Amino acid sequence: MKEKVNYTIAVVVWVLLLCSCSGGGKTSYHVGEGDTLSFRYARNLSVVNYRDYQVAEIRNPWDTTKVLHKYILVDKNQELPKPLPEGTVVRIPLSTTVVYTAVHCALMDDLGVLNSIVGVCDVDYIIRPNILERCEKGEIVNLGSAMSPNAEQIILLAPDAILLSPFENSGGNGTFEKYGIPIIECADYMETSALARAEWIRFYGLLYGVNEVADSMFYVIENRYQYLKDLVKSVGQRPKMMCDLKGGAAWYVPGGNSYLGQLFQDAGADYAFAYLKDSGSVPLSFETVYDKAKDADVWCIKYNGKKDKTYTDLLEEYAPYSGFKAFVSKNIYDCNTNKVPFYEEVPFHPDLLLSDIIKMLHPGVLEDDSLKYYHKLAE
């Protein structure tokens, strides 16, 4: 109870500090002209303020010696200054955007700029009722799959920008840029810690002109995450943990340097694949996974299904699952992403997932052991 009270006091202090600064449009993270905006965790993002514009650079996460994209952010209510440095000019705040992913749609909703979304991809992965309602009314256009969206429809919508998640050696966006539609490459998922990815909230707030809302949101998330992490920092036992299921010929697991791999370790887990230094998912053979994780104490799985899975379902899908210790001891937790907004919320609210994982690994540490995204797999 004492830790809970201390956490509540800390959050109130943060919010009061932010509110006291809002009158002058400044926070403790505000920078002056020509200064670099301070990011505490994000490593693939930098923003520098100049008198008439801002320069935002996204580092190439697959080759950190290179820049993935450079943006020149200019207030749309002012004349375009000249000269400008080389880069993609983006007039901000963004008023109309096409958003490829459910997670960024949900973030726009959290930031209070949902009305700016005019088109989305992969509607089947969106769970939030208010977003789906706007899609049904035609206020948001369904543009099909993010892998092959309706390009003609996007061009007709003429958005201020397109938000998409890049992948290594991706291309094919020149068509939109030719029509003067900037591509915002949302490489947040390649950050190597949960808070680093969440800190991109501040960049998106900048794009939509809701800086103070975004900063305040991130600071509360940061404080909550650190509070939870500190609770289990000195736990005597770190249960061994594995995750996910075999998909086709490979079993994809988060690398040890991925934001999920780091989150598992922050939750006090002995993550079975922490030795993998990748910052993304890594395809492994079943034999490798079994060798490294057969004795894992806790196993959490995610899937998208019309009904929740059971132990019987897992056996029918792949009988060798029964060889894992967590299967035998009935210590598997499942998350049906068709029913819960895991992918919409967790990337930018990692404190919520951290709480769930801590409750799985260290029951009793938190006063309330109820889970938000996972539950014990049924027989």
In tens, the pLDDT along 322-368 reads 999 999 999 999 999 999 999 999 999 999 999 999 999 999 999 99
Task: Note whether residue 241 is domain-resident.
Answer: yes
pLDDT above 50: residue 8: no
Name the residue among 193, 228, 187, 180 with its Cα closest to residue 3: 228
- One domain for residues 89 and 174: yes
For the stretch 241-285, pLDDT in tens is 999 999 999 999 999 988 899 999 999 999 999 999 988 889 999
Task: Note whether residue 46 is domain-resident.
Answer: yes
* Rg (the chain; Cα; Å): 22
For the stretch 164-183, pLDDT in tens is 999 866 655 667 888 899 99
In angstroms, the CA 188 to CA 205 distance is 14
Task: Note whether residue 324 is domain-resident.
Answer: yes
- One domain for residues 255 and 328: yes
- One domain for residues 245 and 293: yes
Q: Are 354 and 374 in contact (CB under 8 A)?
A: no
**Residue 170, pLDDT score:** 62
Q: Are 163 and 104 in contact (CB under 8 A)?
A: yes
Task: Note whether residue 361 is domain-resident.
Answer: yes
Of 165-174, 226-235, 295-304, minimum mean pLDDT range: 165-174
The total domain count for the chain is 2
SS3 161: strand
- One domain for residues 189 and 270: no
In angstroms, the CA 105 to CA 344 distance is 8
Report the percent of the chain where pLDDT is more than 70. 89
Cα dist from 373 to 301, 343, 358, 366, whole Å: 11, 10, 13, 16
| Helix axis angle, 211-231 to 259-266, nearest 10° | 50
- One domain for residues 81 and 196: yes
**Residue 279, pLDDT score:** 81
- One domain for residues 194 and 331: no
In angstroms, the CA 125 to CA 96 distance is 21
Task: Note whether residue 228 is domain-resident.
Answer: no
Count Cβ atoms below 10 Å from residue 103 Cβ, excluding itself. 23
- One domain for residues 199 and 307: no
Q: Please identify, among 190, 223, 256, the residue that sits at the C-terminal boundary of a domain.
A: 223
Task: Note whether residue 116 is domain-resident.
Answer: no
Total residue count of the chain as it appears in this document? 379
pLDDT above 80: residue 12: no
**Residue 33, pLDDT score:** 53
**Residue 236, pLDDT score:** 84
- One domain for residues 72 and 172: yes
pLDDT above 70: residue 1: no
**Residue 167, pLDDT score:** 81
- One domain for residues 65 and 189: yes
Which of the four pLDDT bands, split at 50, 70 and 90, describes residue 210?
very high
- One domain for residues 259 and 362: yes
Contact residues for 307 (Cβ-Cβ < 8 A; gap 6+): 336
- One domain for residues 41 and 169: yes
Range of the domain at 66: 2-95+160-223
Structure tokens at 79: 């004349």
Q: Please identify, among 223, 245, 276, the residue that sits at the C-terminal boundary of a domain.
A: 223
Task: Note whether residue 104 is domain-resident.
Answer: no
Q: What are the residue ranges of helices labelled H in the chain?
A: 2-22, 102-110, 129-136, 151-157, 174-178, 194-198, 201-208, 211-231, 259-266, 286-293, 311-317, 325-328, 342-345, 350-361
Q: Please identify, among 200, 223, 246, the residue that sits at the C-terminal boundary of a domain.
A: 223
**Residue 11, pLDDT score:** 42
For the stretch 15-50, pLDDT in tens is 443 333 433 333 333 334 568 888 999 999 999 999
**Residue 115, pLDDT score:** 97
- One domain for residues 169 and 245: no
Mean pLDDT value across residues 198-221: 97
**Residue 55, pLDDT score:** 97
Identify the CATH number of the domain in which residue 240 sits. Answer: 3.40.50.1980
In angstroms, the CA 224 to CA 4 distance is 10
SS3 206: helix
Name the residue among 308, 289, 304, 297 with its Cα closest to residue 357: 297
Identify the sign of the CA torsion 221, 29, 92, 36: negative
